[in-house]
Chains A and B, each alone.
Chain A
Amino acid sequence: MNDQNHHNLPDRDLIEKVLAGDAGAFGLIIKNTEALVAQVIYKMISNKEDRKDIAQEVYMKAYKNLPGFRFESKLSTWIARIAYNTCLNQLEKKKLLLLDDIELPEKLVNHTAALELDMKERSIIISAAIEKLPPILKTLITLYHNENLSYAEIQQITELPEGTIKSYLFRGRKVLKKNLLQHYKKDEI
């Protein structure tokens, strides 16, 4: 079977191949899922070297636990959950704040001015604002807005209640909006 056909194999077939001893099939599982895993790790971990180690650790854990996968979620979601938990452990080990209080700019400017910012400038401001968010908020925003995951899928990855996910998303978006407006205020001054 060529590589292209392998790529199209459903999760179940790939897992069966890995369990039968086909390590190459696990390579394909990595290729199929690493984009989502990268999103989680990049948002949770800021150190480049740590990211590399964690990414490998995640897939080693996935490989060891693959016989226990019960198909209760998508394989990518299951591996993303391992990634999220591994990152949480790393952050707790390093005693980094997971959900530190976010200070919101108090006074806002008129919204029309912010609307007039060009797309590139806006994108840079939002990118910088996302980076400043606590790791969990950053991850939730990315999973919801960039990966287009449903609340249920995000819940499977993070094990957070749906209400908490919605509440964190709300807080995160509010901070991003205020950052955008605050940035404009600075320019105006």
Chain B
Amino acid sequence: MTRHLSDEELQIFASDGQVPETGMMQHIENCTSCREQMAVYKLVFASIKEQPAVAFDFDLAAAVLQQLQPAATKKTTSTFWPVIIVIFVAIALYLFRKNFLHLVTGISAVFLLISIIACISIIVFKAVKMYHAYEHQVEKLNFSE
């Protein structure tokens, strides 16, 4: 082989530990320039490896966990109000049970069915809207799995 090795070939042989093919090997043995260039690359790679590892100069785990803590507290308090509302509604239903029975007995079956369907439709619509809002928020995090 008469031509000098390209920079790319020199890097491959110096970095990846690949053995050059016979023709290239013979050229390297006889060519001072290629041999020296390869040696310089080896030094460059060794110097990169010698670079000290970087590390954060603060306690990252503590800082992140501290931010997660309020979220957990918020989660606990968020279940408080629904429970209170359920209790309040249960008390109201118990106190006004006779009035509610009068209300229901006066309604036709068709009207009752329409009301139930309307309620379910609203709940489903709200749930879909919430899910889309959640998806949008996740998308805003600029993360794709």
Measured CB to CB, the residues of A under 8 A from B are 23-24, 26-28, 30-31, 34-35, 38-39, 42, 51-52, 55-56, 59-61, 63-65, 68-70, 82, 85-86, 89, 110-112, 114-115, 119, 122-123, 125-127, 130, 141-142, 145-146, 170, 173-174, 176-177, 180-181
Contact = CB atoms under 8 A, between A and B. Distances in A.
Contact of A38 (B11, B56, B142): B56
Interface string B29-45: 00001001101110111
10 contacts: A34-B55, A34-B60, A42-B54, A55-B56, A63-B68, A89-B142, A115-B39, A146-B51, A173-B15, A180-B40
Contact of B145 (A28, A34, A68, A125): A68
Interface residues of B, number: 38
B49 interface: yes
B56 A174 contact: no
B54 A56 contact: no
Contacts, number: 121
A63 B7 CA distance: 44
A180 B143 contact: no
Interface string B62-77: 1111011100100000
B68 A119 contact: no
B103 interface: no
B141 A64 contact: yes
B10 to A, nearest CB: 9
Contacts of B50: 119, 123
B48 A114 contact: no
Given A39-B54, A130-B48, A31 B61 contact: yes
Contact of B72 (A23, A31, A126, A181): A23
